[in-house]
Amino acid sequence: MRDARELLEQAASVRESLKKVMVEVMVKPGNQVQLSKRAGYSQGLVSEAIKELGRLGVVDRSRGDKVRLGEMRGVAVGIDIGFNHTSVVARPLGHAAEEATKRRSQPGVNLGMAQLLPTVLAMVEETVADTEHDMGEVVSAGLAVPRMVDSRTGRFTEPVLPPWDPADDPAALLSQALSVRVAVDNDANLGALAEQVYGSDEPVEHIVYVKASTGVGAGIMLGPNLVRGQRGMAGELGHLAVDLNGRMCLCGGRGCLDTMVGADALLAKVRQSHRGTNRENPDSLADLIARAKDDDAVCRRVLNDAGRVLGFGLAQLCNLLNPHRIVIGGELAAAGDMVLGPCDYELRRHALHGATSEPLDFELGLSALSPHAEAHGALVLGLRSWTSN
């Protein structure tokens, strides 16, 4: 059985198109058209690459029309470090996304990166072991973080907001500890990448992934391109001002979407309604959602209102980008129709009719990959880093 890491290291000497098609097959099997779209090459060039990779025994076309990876030993890893959680996925190359092993735990970067590192490393080792591989067979790793990342440097874009420090470089720290390259990007960006690659068999051209948890961020895929902006600041939906006289935000702005639908804001609204009573307050967004599902009237109303405000913000996004699909992920997605229903109503009420009406087949839905969408996207990013310049 061939060693994938050795093959990728040798591929540095082959032409770029061959290497990129090989990596895309590692990301996900596909037919010639699908691989062409994902690789960004013409079908003719992809066809030639597939033939050559077939002769080398790297890919297999014997099972249907999809190009699959040949027998190969290696595992790819994706890590998502949130404010209050850490998620890890590991997938043997050649296996489907749904066959990935997964782990999720409560500690997040709010603990501090130095304190969190041992937990992350233990989770990675355990998740890789579940695939019946060892750490020496890890070919790549990607990292999703809830902060703006400059794709040119792999470092945080200023302003670097708490709980991160300007000196923090989590990708370098993990790379050194894991002895493997670690690519890093914003978590919402990687959620969008995962949704386009794994959310459906046929990739959606224009897709927006909204991560709504502690804060709100949006990842934007236009065709095969992830829209990062000049310095990685594209998609900062949580800092869209929706109330000019609203509360101050951590970013220094006022009335940002984060101050209205972020986890802290929603919990504060419940506390305010309980003022003067002996009712117990929820201690987390997950707790708030659980109470709402148990018919707590206040918690249900808070989530309904959050959906309405989020829908208003997403309407502005529709008017700017005219996407085919918007997918809601993050912790807030667990609220289901309590958020999705009001969100859909307000979005269609405020967006231009032509952006959301038939025959455009516009879709607003919940992430089927949640709560590991960002980690799946990080896994894709790590594999594709082998073809980065």
Which class is 74-193+373-387 in CATH? alpha beta
- DSSP annotation of 350: H
What residues does CATH 3.30.420.40 cover in the chain? 74-193+373-387, 200-366
**2-69 CATH, one of 3.40.50.1820, 1.10.10.10, 1.10.760.10, 3.60.20.30:** 1.10.10.10
pLDDT one-digit tens code per residue, 251-274 = 899 999 999 999 999 999 999 999
Per-residue pLDDT of the chain (389 residues; tens, 9 = 90+): 788 888 888 876 678 888 999 999 999 999 999 999 888 899 999 999 999 999 988 999 877 789 999 989 999 999 999 988 999 999 999 899 999 999 999 889 988 888 999 999 999 999 999 999 999 999 999 999 988 888 888 888 887 877 888 888 999 999 999 999 899 999 999 999 999 999 887 778 899 999 999 899 999 999 888 998 888 888 999 999 999 999 999 889 999 999 999 999 999 999 999 998 888 999 999 999 999 999 999 999 999 999 999 999 999 999 999 999 999 999 999 999 999 999 999 999 999 988 887 655 678 999 989 899 999 999 999 999 998 75
Domain ranges in the chain with CATH number 1.10.10.10: 2-69
Segment 73-107, tens digit of pLDDT: 999 999 999 988 999 999 999 899 999 999 999 88
Q: How far is CA 76 from CA 19, 61, 95, in A?
A: 17, 22, 10
Pairwise CA distance, residues 6 & 134, whole Å: 15
The candidate with the shortest Cα–Cα distance to 77, out of 90, 95, 96, 94, is 90
**What phi, psi does 68 have (nearest 5°)?**
-120, 165
pTM metric for this prediction:
0.92
Q: If phi over 0 gives left and psi between -120 and 50 gives alpha, with beta otherwise, what is residue 178?
A: alpha
- Give the whole-angstrom CA distance, residue 42 versus residue 35: 10
Q: Does domain 200-366 have CATH number 3.90.1300.10?
A: no
The amino acid that residue 367 corresponds to is S
